[in-house]
Amino acid sequence: MADVLPHSLFTDFDIELFKAGKHYRLFDKFGSHLLTRDGQEGTYFSVWAPNAKQVSVTGDFNYWNDQEHLLKVRWDSSGIWEGFIPGIQQGALYKYKIQSQEGTYTEKADPYARRCEHPPSTASVVWKDHYEWKDTDWQQNRGEKNSLTAPFSVYEVHLPSWRKKPGENRSLSYYELADELVAYLKEMEFTHVEFMPVMEFPYDPSWGYQITGYFAPTSRLGYPEELKYLIDQLHQNGIGIILDWVPSHFPEDAHGLGNFDGSHLYEHPDKRRGYHPDWKSLIFNYGRNEVKSFLISNAIYWLQNYHIDGLRVDAVASMLFLDYSREEGEWEPNIYGGNENLEAIEFLKELNLEVYKSFPDVQMIAEESTSFSGVSKPVFLGGLGFGMKWMMGWMNDTLLYFQKETVYRNYHHNDISFSLTYAFAENFLLPLSHDEVVHGKGSIIGRMPGDEWQQFANLRLLYCYMFTHPGTKLLFMGSEFGQHAEWDFNDQLDWYVLEYKFHYGVKQLVKELNALYKKEEALYKHQFDQQGFEWISYDDHENSVLSYIRKGEHEKDWVIVICNFTQVPRTDYRIGVPKKGSLTEIFNSDADRFAGSEMSCTTKVKIEKIGWQGRTHSASVELPPLAVRMFKIS
C-alpha cells in the first residue's frame, strides 16, 4: 500500500459552517487539487462520505487497485475523507471506491471533479486550467447590460445540435462555436444566449438535464478552458451568458450522486420526496445542510469560475410542491398540512440571497409554471428572490390562440389579451423554449394555420406581439427562421431552409425586432412595470385587433402598436391617440423584406382631432393581413 500523506486543505476550513449548510465555496476544498507538498508534486483528494467505513482513490495510476491509496477520515466527525498522493499529475483518471458501514461497495466519480471522461466512460479527471480572461470591459459594465431596465433578448441553444461540422457529422467544439455561434448571435442582435446544461451528463437524450458532473463542463465539446474561451468571446462581443442549472433532480447512474456512500447522502431518503416519477430520477434532500452547501457552492462556482451572467433554474415548480406529478397517497403533507416543500423553499431563498450578495449584477431566472406567489420578489418581502420568472401562462395562451383558424379568433379574443391582467405580478420573461418543439408538439411554424403565406405571416405576427408585450424575451434555436421540423438533439438545425424567402424573411424580422427592442427605450425601460404599458383597445373582438402603447420616460419615445390577428386587411382602421401630430411608422411585419405583402406603403399618418376610444384625437391607419404595425408620434 502506497503512502497517502496527511496534507489538508481544511486547516482554515470552518467545519461548523459546513455542517450548518452555510459554506458556499466548497469547490476550493473538495475534489482533486494539484499542489506541491514538501517539494513533492501530486494531487490532494477530499470527499464527503460520512457513512463510509473505508474510502480509497483508484485510477489509471494504480491500475484501479482499491487497496493502494486509502484516504483518511477527519477527526472532527464531518465525514470528510482526505489525503495527498504524490506523483499524480494533470489528466490522471480516478474514482472513489467506498465501503459503507454495512459492508457494501460503491465506485463513484468525484462530485467536485473539474473535468470528466468523455461518455460513456465515467471516470473523473484531475484537472486545473490556467485560462486568462480578457473580458474585463464586460465584467465592469455587466450591471448595465443585465439590468431589469435593459433590453434582454435570449437565444436558447443546445450546443451539440446547433450546427454540425460539415463533412464530419459531429458537433462543433467550444472553440468552433466561439467563431460561428458568436458571429451569428452578433448578427442577429440577441443580447444574451442561454446554454442548455453544459455540465457533464451520461445520456444524450436527456439533453443535459440528468447531470452527474456538476462542476465539470461536458467533455463532448472540448476542455474546460475551451468553454471559458467561448464565454470570453461572447463577452468581448457584448453578449451575456445564461446557464441552465438543474438543482431539482439527478440520475441514478451507478457512478453518480445516488446512494453515494451506501446511504441516501444527497437524495431524500423518503421516496415520496426523493424520487421524481416524471424523470425517473432522484431528488436532492434540501433539508440536509451539507447538500444545500453543495448546491449553492455549485451555483457560485459557475458564476465565479466561468464568468456566467445568470442561471436559469430548471423545474422550480417540481421543487416547490410535494405533490408535483403525484397522485393522492404518493406524497406526504408538510408539518402544517400543506403541499409546499418548505425545505426547498428555504433553499431557493438562501440560494438567491447568496448569489445576489456575491454577484449583484447577475440574474437568477426561475422556470416556474404555477401561480406560486412572489417568485421574483425579494426575500425580505416574502418572495423567493429570483430576478425573473418564465411567463408560462402567456406562452400557453398565446400558442393556443395562434393555432386557431383566424375565422374563429374573434371568439377567443380574451385569450390573447388576458396575459396583461397579470403581466406585472412578477418580473416575467416570455419563453418560446425547447419545451415547445419536442415530444410530438412539432415546430412553432407548424402550429400556424392557413396556407404557407398565412403560416409565415402568423409567425411574424407572433414574434412582433411577443417583442412588444411587456417582459423580456427568449427564443429557442431554429425558431428564429421558422424551422418546420421538430427539434432533434441528434441532428443540426435545418439551415438549408434559409435559401427560401419565407424562412429568410422570418430571420430578418427577428434580427430587426432585436435591434428595435434595443433601440426603443419604450420597449424595455418599464418592461416589468404597469407604467410602461397602456391599452388603446383590448376589446375589438369583432375585428380581432389589439392596440396599445409601450411607454418610456418621455412621450416622444412612446411606441404605438396595432396587431391584426386575421388575414382580412383593414383599410380604414381608426385608433385613439394621446395627442396631436402625426404617426410615423417604425416597423411593419408585412414589409417585403420579411416576405410580406407590402400592402401599406404609407409610412406617415395624419392625426385628426376626432374623438375616439376615450381620447380627443385619433388616426385612420391601414392594417395589412396578419401583421403588426408600430408607430411613434411626431
Q: Say if CB 588 and CB 600 are below 8 A apart.
A: yes
| Number of neighbouring beta carbons within 10 Å of residue 581 | 16
Any alpha helices (H) in 469-617, and if so which ranges? Answer: 501-519
Q: For residues 288 and 21, what is the distance between their CA atoms, to the nearest angstrom?
A: 8
What three-state secondary structure class fits 257?
A: coil
How many angstroms separate the first and last alpha carbons of the chain? 84
**Enzyme catalytic residues:** 314, 367
- Longest CA–CA separation in the chain, Å: 95
Q: For residues 532 and 552, what is the distance between their CA atoms, to the nearest angstrom?
A: 6
Q: Dump the DSSP string for 194-242.
A: EEPP-EE-S-GGGTT-S-SEEEEE-GGG--HHHHHHHHHHHHHTT-EEE
Residue 553 CB contacts under 8 Å (≥ 6 apart), including other chains: 521, 525
Q: Which of 564, 609, 613 is nearest to 589 (CA)?
A: 564
Q: Say if CB 69 and CB 2 are below 8 A apart.
A: yes
Q: For residues 429 and 418, what is the distance between their CA atoms, to the nearest angstrom?
A: 16
SS3 content of the chain, % helix, strand, coil (to 5): 30, 25, 45
Q: What angle do CA 200, 205, 208 make, to 5 degrees?
A: 30
